Every structure is written in structure tokens, then in C-alpha cells.
């Protein structure tokens, strides 16, 4: 019995060796690892990253993407990334904000592997941070809502009152006010990023109290858009521009992330050995795009929105003083402004927003 | 309170109270038979996920509803196998069932995240739809589950308190030994109670995914299973009081959302605590009353009568 076993073992080694040489012959020029906290077909955040990486693999020959879905924000993430490094990944995207600390640990151990994290914090030689700055782009959404509303009451559902979400709401209200002096934005906080039943309740409550346009900042816009559509209201989407499929009648427009150009650049840098971790924040025209308009949006409104978008791309910043908050105190003196790197710091609502931060 | 606020709160209370009520009715039957199922949250998730997945695949929400009820029933039978047949600890088994529910629902639902479904059909009587105060809200525009919520509570009450079967279930919950001695089979009755409870729990979950939100997302129940367990205590194991309880708890959620939508300056986080505060108050007020006490053998394992 001993001989055959040894022969079998020898054959196995031989087979493995052959497989290895085969793999070497077709070895990809770059393996990219991507870690997602949820599912990649969520019509939202995770899908936006998955789609962009698929596009990178299509455009750059020799790039292979390995993906892991539903990776919790725990030590599991560290193990998954470590496994990706062992598989030869030289560029890793830990796509959830909470993957940060685990990614940094792995990055410390493997200085030859590049990491790009959508968030903030220090950059290192092999650790870059990036994000799409949506706040100023929401100004253009506000322009569309301000023109489309008949009740002059706009609704905005947010998961948690964090600075980034407040910034979205503030720019939205300022955009609406710029074309409609009577426009007010009512904020409802659900208390979680994915409490679907409460999102439905929040959308219903806003419609019950007279809002006719509803915007949102939650993980997936699907429930809110469908609830509003069923009751004949209008909606403005967020996270993925594909959400318009959910509202054939009431869709106005929306914002979505477009990571592809930035990812392409990073992948090329890694392949050329030129990667350097940086902090990259881009708004409209960079990592953020405006979704197609719905059928009910007249041409003159579309033009106003596109004009606002062009203005923003040229550097217009609505967060330039003087700005008064909704309690009447001046939060930004004349001349001062808030840049894309400070969007997480909002702790006030601008004049015209109906809501309370805490 | 102005009329629009009251109507809005009522409409919201009914919408979010529907799944709470079905879940509470199911858990009430189970607890009346002497079993505590802390895994209700998992049952709701399984119902929501299976219901949504089957609807996404077949395109028929009724099939989804049936599958959700069957899946809830099956999950509760698994719990029964653990705690009735294997005599495992009920609290530990319930928590295990909850985590099992998290996992199974995520697995089943994962391929269908983002699917667009046609949910349960809604129906509003024409003469009610003609009223202007109705048109401005979601009032009376309900799916079958919401229309049948109160009849379901009446049915559960009738089964528990007016039938021989209900007497048996309650006897097992009070004293399985005595029930056994009088010729009843405690294990069989508990399994029947679990089947009915799981079926109702599955429907409760399905209402969330097939009617209220039209989506599936991991852990979308967000604690509603636990609110329902609190509601069972709140309603003192009585299906009719559960109707009032579900409306009150659903109303607490609706009230805080409506108040925000009106621009009230009360902290939403404070209002969010209301359901749990109410439960504590009820326990304080009537906690010791014998007539309203929990089934005497609730949570105890019956090892047989020897």
C-alpha cells in the first residue's frame, strides 16, 4: 500500500507544478482585491464600486479582480485582505468606511501592496484615501427640486445626522432656494442606514405633511423611491444612477458615484510602480455624476440644472459666507468658505431647513 | 394635535403595526404553550427574505407570501425539535435561532438584493377613496394582510380561549404535568403552537418585504422581532390587547416620524425609546397581578411525568 500512495503523492506534486507553470504563463499583470461590506447588486454603494472595477478589468488588459462580498467590519476583513495578498493582489480596495483600521494593519505588514480606502485619515506611501464629494453636487439637485415642487416643501430622509449627510441637505436647500425663494427642506432622520420599514414610514410621513419631492441619504434608495412613486410623489435618487428604473413617473434626477477614471489611474500607477498614497476628493465631473432626467422634467428645468452643474465644475462653492443657520446665527462670516476636505464637519442646518441636528 | 398629524400618525401606525401584530400573535400562541422563542427576529427575517426571493423568482407575491409562511413554520419546528424533543435550554436555543435566521436570510436573499418586485396588491373601497381626507394619506389603501389583521387577532383569541385545543395549549403553558395527567400530549400541543406561531411570524416578515418596503436588505427587520416580544408582555399574553399594543407601538414610531416631518424640535432619539418605555411602565403597573401574569410554566422544560 505504501508504494502506490507515494506515487500518487508524486503525481500530485507534478500536477501542482504543472498548474503553477501554466498559471505563470498566463499570470495577470495586476491582481486587484476588492472587499465589500454588503452585496454588489444593491442598487447603491457596493454596486458602484463593483461596476467601476469591472470596467477597469475590461479596459486594462491583464488586470484581474478578486472580490469578497458581505465582509463584516471586523477582524474578518483583515483575514480576507491577508488572503488576497497571498493570492498576489498588489492593489486592494477595502470599500467600507469601517474596513479602515483592518486595512491599515494589513498595509503595515505588506509595504509592497497598495491600498485605496474611501474615507479619510492619514495617507501613507502604500495607503491612499479618496471619496466622491457629493455635498456641493447636491446644490444642483436642489435646483431641480426647487423648480419641480408645487407645495414648496421638499423632504429629505437621512439615516444618521452625520456631517456628510447634513452637508448634502444644506447644499440641497441652498440650490432649491436659489431658484425658488419659498422652498423649504424638511429633514427626517430614521436612525439607521438600512432600516427599510422606517424609511417607508419616513417617506409616507413627509408626503402626509405636504412634501411633494423626496430626496434621501441612506444605503439603498430603493424603498423610499418606490414608496414615493406609489403615492404619486417625485423623487431624487442617490448612490447609484440606476435607481431611476424604480420610478418611471416620479423620477426627477439623482446623484451617483463614478469611480472608474480614478480607479484606472490608480491601477496604471501601481503597474508602473509609481503608486503613492494620496488624499483624493473629487466632486461633480470627477467621482460624482448626475443621473439622467425623468420624463416629467421640462427642458428649461433640465437646462437650469445643467447650468448649475457646469458652474460647480468650474469651482462654484455654495458654502461661501455669509451663511446663517436655521436658528438664526451666522455660521460662516462673509468671505469664509468650507472646502471639500471639511464636509464631514457640518453640525448645523442652513436657513430654510426644518429639522434639528440633535 | 392637528387633523393632518392625527391622520398621519394613524395611517403610519396601521402600516408599521401590521407586521408587529402578526409577529405578536404568533409569539403569543407560542408563549401560551409555555415556550419562549427569543428567535422571533430570525423568523421575521426568514419570512421577509424567503417571501421576497420567491416573489422575485416567480413574479407572484402570493407564492412569496405562502413560502414565507411555510419557511417561518419550518424554522419554528426546528426550534421545537431543539427545545421540546431535545429539551435544550429555551433562551439559548432562541438566541441561536435568531443568529441562524440572520445567516439563512442573508444567504437566501443575497442573489435578489436590488430585484424589483410587484408587491401584494392593495385595495381601497371606492366610497372611502372619494373622501378628500382619505386621499391625502395611506389610510384604507391596504393589502390583504392589513385588512385581515384584526380578524386574525380575533381568530387567535377565539382559538386560544374558546376552543378545546386552546384550552389544551394554555394548560400545557400553565402546568404541562397536569395537562399530561389529564390525557393531553404536551409535546404535540407545543409543536402545533409553534407551527401556528411560525406561520404568523413568516407572514409578519413577508409584510415588511412584500408590501411595506418592496425590498430585501440584510437585517431589515431592525429589532421588530424584539419589539413584538415586548408587545407580548405588554399585552399580557392576550391577542386582543395585542391589537391595541401593536397600534400603540406602531403609532410611537409613526408619531416620531410625523413630528419630524412637521418640523417638531423634539429629539427623534428620545421618541424612539417610547415603545420600550411603555413596556417598562406596563410591567411596573401590572407586573404582579396574578390574573395578568405570564403562563406559569413559561420557559421551563417539561421532562415528562414520571
Q: Which domains does chain A have, with CATH numbers?
A: 29-133+259-282 (3.40.50.2300), 134-256+294-354 (3.40.50.2300)
B204 touches chain A (CB under 8 A): no
What confidence tier does B1 reach under pLDDT thresholds 50, 70, 90? Answer: low
Interface test with chain A among B45, B53, B261, B272, by most A beta carbons within 10 Å: B261
Q: Is A93 helix (H, G, I), strand (E, B) or coil?
A: strand
Q: Rounded to 5 degrees, what angle do the CA atoms A205, A207, A208 make?
A: 60
Q: Does the distance separating the beta carbons of B12 and A204 come in below 8 Å? A: yes
Whether the pLDDT of residue B268 is over 80: the answer is: no
Q: Map grid coordinates 419570512 to a residue.
A: B47
A172's CB contacts (< 8 A; 6+ apart) are A138, A139, A141, A142, A145, A154, A156, A185, A215
Q: Map grid coordinates 427623534 to a residue.
A: B268
> Which of A43, A192, A205 has the CB atom closest to B257's CB atom?
A205
Q: Output Rg (C-alpha) for chain A, integer angstroms.
A: 23
Q: Does the distance separating the beta carbons of B4 and A205 come in below 8 Å? A: no
Q: Look up residue A294 and give its DSSP letter.
A: P
Whether the pLDDT of residue B242 is over 90: the answer is: yes
Could you tell me the end-to-end alpha-carbon distance of chain A, in angstroms, rounded to an integer?
75
Q: Return the pLDDT at A5.
A: 47
Contact A285, A311 (CB under 8 A): no
Q: Return the pLDDT at B288.
A: 66
Q: Find the closest chain A residue to B118 by CA distance.
A: A226
Whether the pLDDT of residue A317 is over 50: the answer is: yes
* Closest to A151 measured CA to CA, from A114, A125, A185, A124: A185
B265 touches chain A (CB under 8 A): yes
A247's CB contacts (< 8 A; 6+ apart) are A225, A226, A228, A229, A235, A237, A294
Query: What integer is the mean pLDDT of A192-212?
Result: 92
A356's CB contacts (< 8 A; 6+ apart) are A349, B265, B267
Query: B82 is written with which cell numbers?
Result: 431543539
Q: Map grid coordinates 453636487 to a residue.
A: A137
Collect all residues of chain A within an 8 Å Cβ-Cβ radius of residue B220.
194-197
Contact A247, A230 (CB under 8 A): no
Q: Does the distance separating the beta carbons of B218 and A222 come in below 8 Å? A: no
Whether the pLDDT of residue A45 is over 90: the answer is: no
Distance in angstroms (rounded) separating the CA atoms of residues A285 and A103: 28
Whether the pLDDT of residue A22 is over 90: the answer is: no
Contact A230, B245 (CB under 8 A): no
Q: Rounded to 5 degrees, what angle do the CA atoms A42, A47, A53 make?
A: 160
Phi/psi of residue A159, each to 5°? -70, -55
* Closest to B272 measured CA to CA, from B253, B249, B251, B248: B253
Query: What integer is the mean pLDDT of B106-128?
Result: 89
Whether the pLDDT of residue A63 is over 60: the answer is: yes
Distance in angstroms (rounded) separating the CA atoms of residues A243 and A228: 13
Contact A92, A112 (CB under 8 A): no
Task: Specify the higher pLDDT residue, B5 or A24.
Answer: B5
Query: B208 is written with which cell numbers?
Result: 415588511
Query: A292 is written with which cell numbers?
Result: 439622467
Distance in angstroms (rounded) separating the CA atoms of residues A127 and B199: 51
Could you tell me the end-to-end alpha-carbon distance of chain B, in angstroms, rounded to an integer?
61
Q: Return the pLDDT at B287.
A: 67
Distance in angstroms (rounded) separating the CA atoms of residues B279 and B274: 9
Burial (0-12, 13-18, 19+ Cβ within 10 Å), B289: exposed
Whether the pLDDT of residue A50 is over 50: the answer is: yes
Whether the pLDDT of residue A3 is over 50: the answer is: no
Q: Return the pLDDT at A220.
A: 85
Pairing mode of beta strands A213-217, A153-158: parallel
Q: Does the distance separating the beta carbons of A189 and B258 come in below 8 Å? A: no
Q: Return the pLDDT at A53.
A: 96
Lowest mean pLDDT among A223-237, A295-309, B153-167, B284-298: B284-298
Contact B39, B95 (CB under 8 A): yes
Contact A145, A213 (CB under 8 A): yes
Interface test with chain A among B2, B20, B52, B114, by most A beta carbons within 10 Å: B114
Q: Does the distance separating the beta carbons of B213 and A220 come in below 8 Å? A: no
> Which of A196, A210, A211 has the CB atom closest to B215's CB atom?
A196
- Residues of A with a Cβ under 8 Å from any B Cβ are 38-39, 41-43, 47, 69-70, 155, 186-192, 194-202, 204-206, 208-211, 219-220, 222-223, 226-227, 231, 245-246, 354-356, 358
Q: Which domains does chain B have, with CATH numbers?
A: 7-117+146-293 (1.10.3470)
Q: Return the pLDDT at B43.
A: 98
Q: Does the distance separating the beta carbons of A204 and B138 come in below 8 Å? A: yes
- Region of A77 please: left (phi>0), alpha (psi -120 to 50) or beta: alpha
Q: Is B142 helix (H, G, I), strand (E, B) or coil?
A: strand
* Closest to A178 measured CA to CA, from A333, A305, A17, A263: A305
Query: A226 is written with which cell numbers?
Result: 418606490
B49 touches chain A (CB under 8 A): no
> Which of B15, B116, B218 has the CB atom closest to A245's CB atom?
B116
Q: Return the pLDDT at A14.
A: 47
Q: Is A252 helix (H, G, I), strand (E, B) or coil?
A: strand
What confidence tier does B213 reach under pLDDT thresholds 50, 70, 90? Answer: very high
Pairing mode of beta strands A114-118, A63-68: unpaired
Query: What integer is the mean pLDDT of B102-117?
Result: 90
- HSE, side-chain direction, 13 A CA sphere, residue A219: 25
Lowest mean pLDDT among A268-277, B54-63, B216-225: B216-225
Distance in angstroms (rounded) separating the CA atoms of residues A224 and A216: 8
Q: Does the distance separating the beta carbons of B213 and A223 come in below 8 Å? A: yes
The ipTM, to two decimals, is: 0.89
DSSP code string of A225-246:
HHHHHHTT-EEEEEE-GGGGGG
B17 touches chain A (CB under 8 A): no
What confidence tier does A23 reach under pLDDT thresholds 50, 70, 90? Answer: very low
Whether the pLDDT of residue A21 is over 50: the answer is: no
A326-341 in b/e form (b: 16+ CB < 10 A) is: beeeebbeeeeebebe
Q: Return the pLDDT at B153.
A: 97
Contact B101, B43 (CB under 8 A): yes
Q: Is B113 helix (H, G, I), strand (E, B) or coil?
A: coil
B263 touches chain A (CB under 8 A): yes
Whether the pLDDT of residue B134 is over 90: the answer is: no
Q: What is the pTM of this model?
A: 0.85
Q: Does the distance separating the beta carbons of A358 and B213 come in below 8 Å? A: no
Whether the pLDDT of residue A24 is over 70: the answer is: no
Contact A236, A211 (CB under 8 A): no
Contact A156, A172 (CB under 8 A): yes
Distance in angstroms (rounded) separating the CA atoms of residues A203 and A206: 5
Q: Map grid coordinates 409613526 to a residue.
A: B254
Interface test with chain A among B6, B19, B113, B208, by most A beta carbons within 10 Å: B113
Q: Return the pLDDT at A342.
A: 84
Contact A255, A286 (CB under 8 A): no
Distance in angstroms (rounded) separating the CA atoms of residues A125 and A277: 5
Interface test with chain A among B129, B260, B269, B274, by most A beta carbons within 10 Å: B260
Collect all residues of chain A within an 8 Å Cβ-Cβ radius of residue B208.
196-197
Whether the pLDDT of residue A47 is over 90: the answer is: no
Whether the pLDDT of residue A9 is over 80: the answer is: no
Lowest mean pLDDT among A140-154, A329-343, B66-80: A329-343
Contact A159, A217 (CB under 8 A): yes
> Which of A155, A222, A245 has the CB atom closest to B215's CB atom?
A222
Collect all residues of chain A within an 8 Å Cβ-Cβ radius of residue B17.
none
Distance in angstroms (rounded) separating the CA atoms of residues B188 and B182: 14
**Chain A to chain B Cβ contacts (< 8 Å):** 132
* Closest to A226 measured CA to CA, from A212, A244, A252, A208: A244
Q: How many CB atoms lie within 10 A of CB A69?
A: 17
Q: Does the distance separating the beta carbons of A197 and B19 come in below 8 Å? A: yes
Sheet strands (E) in A147-233: 153-158, 184-189, 213-217
Contact A28, A63 (CB under 8 A): yes
Q: Find the closest chain B residue to A357 by CA distance.
A: B267
Q: Find the closest chain B residue to A233 by CA distance.
A: B136
Q: Does the distance separating the beta carbons of B258 and A197 come in below 8 Å? A: no
Amino acid at each position: 500500500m505504501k508504494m502506490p500512495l507515494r506515487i500518487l503523492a508524486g503525481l500530485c506534486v507534478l500536477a501542482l507544478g504543472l498548474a503553477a507553470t501554466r498559471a505563470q504563463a498566463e499570470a495577470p499583470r495586476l491582481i486587484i482585491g476588492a472587499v465589500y461590506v454588503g452585496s454588489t447588486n444593491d442598487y447603491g454603494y457596493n454596486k458602484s464600486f463593483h461596476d467601476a472595477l469591472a470596467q477597469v478589468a475590461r479596459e486594462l488588459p491583464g488586470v484581474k479582480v478578486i472580490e469578497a462580498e458581505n465582509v463584516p467590519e471586523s477582524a474578518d476583513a483583515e483575514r480576507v485582505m491577508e488572503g488576497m495578498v497571498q493570492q498576489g493582489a498588489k492593489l486592494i480596495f477595502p470599500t467600507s468606511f469601517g474596513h479602515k483600521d483592518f486595512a491599515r494593519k494589513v498595509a503595515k505588514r505588506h509595504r509592497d501592496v497598495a491600498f485605496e480606502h474611501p474615507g479619510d485619515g492619514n495617507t501613507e506611501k502604500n495607503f491612499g484615501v479618496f471619496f466622491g464629494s457629493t455635498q456641493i453636487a447636491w446644490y444642483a439637485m436642489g435646483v431641480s427640486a426647487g423648480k419641480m415642487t408645487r407645495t414648496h416643501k421638499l423632504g429629505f430622509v437621512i439615516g444618521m445626522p452625520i456631517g456628510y449627510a447634513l452637508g448634502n441637505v444644506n447644499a440641497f436647500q441652498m440650490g432649491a432656494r436659489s431658484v425658488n425663494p419659498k422652498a423649504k427642506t424638511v429633514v427626517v432622520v430614521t436612525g439607521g442606514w438600512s432600516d427599510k420599514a422606517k424609511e417607508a414610514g419616513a417617506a409616507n410621513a413627509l408626503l402626509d405633511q405636504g412634501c411633494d419631492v423626496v430626496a434621501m441619504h441612506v444605503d439603498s434608495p430603493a424603498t423610499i423611491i418606490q414608496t414615493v412613486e406609489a403615492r404619486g410623489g417625485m423623487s431624487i435618487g442617490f448612490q447609484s444612477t440606476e435607481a431611476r428604473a424604480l420610478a418611471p413617473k416620479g423620477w426627477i434626477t439623482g446623484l451617483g458615484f463614478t469611480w472608474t477614471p480614478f480607479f484606472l489611474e490608480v491601477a496604471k500607477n501601481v503597474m508602473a510602480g509609481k503608486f503613492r498614497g494620496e488624499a483624493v476628493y473629487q466632486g461633480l465631473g470627477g467621482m460624482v455624476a448626475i443621473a439622467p432626467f425623468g420624463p416629467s422634467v421640462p427642458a428649461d428645468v433640465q437646462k437650469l440644472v445643467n447650468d448649475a452643474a457646469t458652474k460647480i465644475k468650474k469651482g462654484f462653492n455654495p458654502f461661501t459666507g455669509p451663511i446663517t443657520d436655521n436658528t438664526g446665527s451666522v455660521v460662516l462670516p462673509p468671505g469664509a468658505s468650507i472646502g471639500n476636505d471639511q464636509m464631514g464637519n457640518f453640525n448645523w442646518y442652513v436657513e430654510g431647513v426644518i429639522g434639528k441636528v440633535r | 394635535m392637528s387633523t393632518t398629524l392625527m391622520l398621519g400618525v394613524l395611517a403610519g401606525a396601521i402600516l408599521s403595526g401590521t407586521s408587529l401584530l402578526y409577529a405578536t400573535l404568533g409569539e403569543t400562541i407560542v408563549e401560551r404553550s409555555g415556550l419562549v422563542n427569543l428567535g422571533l427576529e430570525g423568523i421575521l427575517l426568514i419570512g421577509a427574505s424567503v417571501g421576497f426571493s420567491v416573489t422575485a423568482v416567480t413574479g407572484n407575491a402570493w407564492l412569496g407570501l405562502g413560502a414565507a409562511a411555510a419557511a417561518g413554520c419550518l424554522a419554528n419546528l426546528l426550534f421545537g425539535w431543539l427545545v421540546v424533543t431535545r429539551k435544550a435550554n429555551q433562551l439559548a436555543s432562541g438566541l441561536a435561532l435568531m443568529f441562524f435566521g440572520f445567516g439563512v436570510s442573508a444567504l437566501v436573499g443575497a442573489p435578489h438584493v436590488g430585484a424589483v418586485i410587484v408587491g401584494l396588491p392593495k385595495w381601497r373601497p371606492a366610497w372611502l377613496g372619494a373622501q378628500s381626507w382619505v386621499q391625502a394619506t395611506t389610510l384604507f389603501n391596504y393589502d390583504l394582510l392589513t385588512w385581515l389583521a384584526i380578524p386574525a387577532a380575533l381568530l387567535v383569541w377565539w382559538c386560544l380561549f374558546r376552543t378545546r385545543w386552546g384550552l389544551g395549549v394554555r394548560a400545557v403553558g400553565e402546568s404541562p404535568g397536569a395537562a399530561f395527567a389529564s390525557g393531553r400530549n404536551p409535546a404535540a400541543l407545543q409543536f402545533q403552537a409553534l407551527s401556528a406561531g411560525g406561520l404568523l411570524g413568516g407572514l409578519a416578515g413577508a409584510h415588511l418585504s412584500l408590501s411595506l418596503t418592496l425590498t430585501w436588505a440584510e437585517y431589515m427587520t431592525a429589532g421588530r422581532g424584539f419589539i413584538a416580544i415586548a408587545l407580548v408582555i405588554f399585552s399580557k399574553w392576550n391577542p386582543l390587547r395585542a391589537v391595541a399594543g401593536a397600534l400603540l407601538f406602531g403609532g410611537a414610531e409613526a408619531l416620531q416620524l410625523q413630528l419630524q416631518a412637521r418640523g417638531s424640535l423634539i429629539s427623534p432619539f428620545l421618541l424612539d425609546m417610547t415603545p420600550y418605555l411603555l413596556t417598562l411602565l406596563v410591567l411596573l403597573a401590572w407586573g404582579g397581578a396574578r390574573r395578568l401574569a405570564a403562563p406559569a410554566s413559561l420557559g421551563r422544560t417539561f421532562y415528562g411525568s414520571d
